[in-house]
Amino acid sequence: MKYSETTPVQYQEGTVRFLGMDIPVDERVLIPRPETELLVEVVAGICEEKRWKEPFILDIGTGSGAIALGITKLVDTAHVIASDVSQDVLALAGENIKKFKREERIELTSSDMFSAFGSEYNDCFDCVVSNPPYVSDKDYGALDAWVKAEPALALLAGAEGLDCLKVIAAESSRVIKPGGVLAVEVGYDQAQKVKILFEEYGFSDIKGFVDFGGHERVIIGRRHG
């Protein structure tokens, strides 16, 4: 296949290195980045700190499956439901789960955000984790061409880039067990706004984790109870 000059090298090579794993990727999915490695490491640390024996985790917008694969690599007893709205994306994630032999620990679910998780999932998960779309309309216009080669559906999230994060904060307050944790990746300038969102939806002990560029890129909060 002939690629253009603006095609990311990860698509050309067909894999991305993520937490020591060579995860297949193509134009169907967002390319996992170091910020997302940080997100997975934070979640793994929470599992250890909380001493959850068999943490049950929901990964919203799984894409390539990198987050679910990373968590199950770092946390031996973790079980993950990994969801996505796109059937094409779920097909790739399924191939990746089989490649790493995680079928017994990662379950794929077709869901537009939380649409597949009704009241039967209330107070169900120890942790909800997500690297959602968080690019604002304004910032999208300024992105490099190689970033725009990635699926817009996985990047764009409204005027402030907070549309998906608002839904995640609201719905996670329902599906997370009391005392459980919400962990999300956010844009370089969104940390304070997301912390306020967490507070509005009943989360406490809210913390930010800084990436290599000095930006708070991972935000966590504990559900009251």
Mean pLDDT of 93-117: 98
pLDDT of residue 3: 63
Looking up tokens 């969102």, which residue turns up?
Answer: 197
pLDDT of residue 126: 98
Helix-helix angle 66-74:87-99, to 10 degrees: 30
CB distance 146 to 6 below 8 Å: yes
pLDDT bracket for residue 6 (50, 70, 90): confident
CA distance 61 to 191: 20
Q: Over the stretch 68-91, which tens digit does the pLDDT of each residue have?
A: 999 999 999 999 999 999 999 999
Q: Is the pLDDT of residue 1 over 60?
A: no
Q: Is the pLDDT of residue 93 over 60?
A: yes
pLDDT of residue 225: 72
Alpha helices in 75-136 (DSSP H): 87-99
pLDDT of residue 90: 98
Q: Locate 93 and state its tokens.
A: 């994630």
Q: Over the stretch 163-216, which tens digit does the pLDDT of each residue have?
A: 999 999 999 999 999 999 999 999 999 999 999 999 999 999 999 999 999 999
pLDDT of residue 146: 87
pLDDT of residue 218: 98
pLDDT of residue 71: 98
Q: What is the pTM of this model?
A: 0.96
Rg (C-alpha) for the chain, rounded Å, is 16
Q: Is the pLDDT of residue 5 over 80?
A: no
CA distance 168 to 165: 5
Q: Over the stretch 13-72, which tens digit does the pLDDT of each residue have?
A: 999 999 999 999 999 999 999 999 999 999 999 999 999 999 999 999 999 999 999 999
Q: Is the pLDDT of residue 134 over 90?
A: yes
The string of DSSP letters for 172-191 reads HHHHEEEEEEEEEE--TT-H
pLDDT of residue 4: 66
Judge residue 76's burial from the number of C-beta atoms within 10 Å of its C-beta, 0-12 exposed, 13-18 middle, 19 or more buried: exposed
Mean pLDDT of 145-169: 94
How far are the Cα atoms of 86, 105, 133 from residue 98, in angstroms, in the given order?
18, 11, 26
